[in-house]
Chains A and B, each alone.
Chain A
């Protein structure tokens, strides 16, 4: 799995041919009011082990696409498969939940339960597993869940903050807790919606490095959005640009030019 990540597009293409895409979206459309299309015929395939950055200006449909991919926002039309199962109208709620349990999601604003401890927030990542009511609090969680959560916290270098309340941490630390929560179940896919947007440049870069390192170490496929072009170019194998709900370009990060970026963000 490690090879898939370190070898760039050719390896990803081989993985795609061998196992089929992890995510496959065809003609994806989404509208909240049936008048304006937020996503307008998006085609996207992501192979296991790839790191894909989704870029675009505000309102281009990046966040909607991420949330649609895991069925949080039901799509209006098109077909969508994750891990080989349909997530569109053909799929059942059970299939959507099963898919989400193999996915980690990190939001821009970390979305922690602020009144609970850091450890409890990380254990929340195990909600959806058998007996998941015990994820309510670290005090009720089985010993192996607590161990996994502590290991995840150690990976983001916050093991010493385990019993502090989530809202007592800095923004960067809270985002690292959110990463630990997303990774505690060792998901096959990690989706992050502008994970560094609410952080200062240094913390943002640290968070992005942590992300990509952990995904590389554990063979996790990564899909993230970013407004920061350096984050997109430096940490992704592939960049997909959205403009007005359509895919403007989809090519390896190394081949993206200044002109491409100008086209993406102009007008």
Chain B
């Protein structure tokens, strides 16, 4: 008779009937939702001529010098919005993340309030923040910059706080043992330890800021997005295609630069 102790265990021992029921329910929700909002094959086929027609009207992209000079200025403004917004956001994120980080925060257990605040900033989409700032500050680049600041705090605040929580504990204890206060421990032990992570997150935030800033103009918050909206509203599709190419170039350039910087940090 075979030794039962040597038998292989069942294949799905960690998969309870409840888990199976939940998986089936999730599948049902996805299928039901697809029936409502996913494109049908017929709709996809019907859309092809319209897409071909639109692409045809977009080509060739408008390369008139006066137009290129105008969108050049808008691209510069977009980059300025992203850069200034991300820089201010990253700087503000540091003290906010410190207050939010568990076990490190000078607020003790009050850190959950700051964490909730960061979650709130992150949960509201950037276009909604842009609408709020356009309504309160007015149309233009300043509203865009404010949007990027808030969006960056939501992003970096979370990652900075997590990095601070995961920082090596021994050097912190060593500084605490010789009478260093919380601020000293932050600058002496935590920040040096998490610097690569901070720089990495900041570069991602900058990339994200550039991508966000190109669409903020759609709701009047300055930058190249404003030109894109005007081009589509006035059926100037050749202008629109040139703007899309310019946006692609700036985002690609930013990603190349941040990738290179990240590689150097690693």
Question: A: which residues have CB within 8 A of B?
Answer: 67, 70, 72, 97-101, 103-105, 107, 109, 111-116, 124-125, 127-128, 132-133, 135-136, 178, 181-182, 185, 187, 191
Contacts and interface: CB of A to CB of B under 8 A. Distances in A.
Given A113-B193, A115-B195, A107 B179 contact: no
25 contacts: A97-B179, A97-B181, A98-B179, A103-B179, A105-B174, A107-B173, A107-B174, A111-B173, A111-B174, A112-B171, A113-B171, A114-B168, A114-B171, A115-B192, A115-B195, A127-B179, A127-B188, A128-B178, A128-B179, A132-B180, A132-B184, A133-B184, A133-B187, A136-B188, A185-B178
Interface in B154-205: 168, 170-171, 173-181, 183-185, 187-189, 191-193, 195
Contacts of B180: 124, 127-128, 132
Given A124-B189, A136-B187, 4 more contacts: A104-B178, A116-B192, A124-B175, A132-B184
Q: How large is the interface on B (under 10, 10 to 19, 20 to 34, 35 or more residues)?
A: 20 to 34
Contacts, number: 81
A70 B178 CA distance: 9
Contacts of A182: 178
A180 to B, nearest CB: 12
Contacts of A133: 183-184, 187
Given A113-B189, A132-B184, A135-B188, A127 B175 contact: yes
Contact of A101 (B170, B171, B179): B179
A101 B178 CA distance: 5
Contacts of B177: 67, 70, 72, 100, 103, 105, 107, 191
Contacts of A100: 176-179
Interface class of chain B by DSSP: helix
A237 B176 CA distance: 28
A77 to B, nearest CB: 22
> Which 3 pairs, one residue from A and one from B, show the smallest C-beta to C-beta distance?
A100-B179, A128-B179, A101-B179
A98 to B, nearest CB: 7
B91 to A, nearest CB: 17
Nearest to B195: A115
A67 B178 CA distance: 11
A104 B178 CA distance: 6
A20 B111 CA distance: 43
Most interface-central of A97, A124, A132 (chain B CB within 10 A): A124
A82 to B, nearest CB: 12
B184 A107 contact: no
Nearest to A126: B178
Contacts of B185: 127
B170 A111 contact: yes
Nearest to B177: A105
A125 B178 contact: yes
A225 B168 CA distance: 24
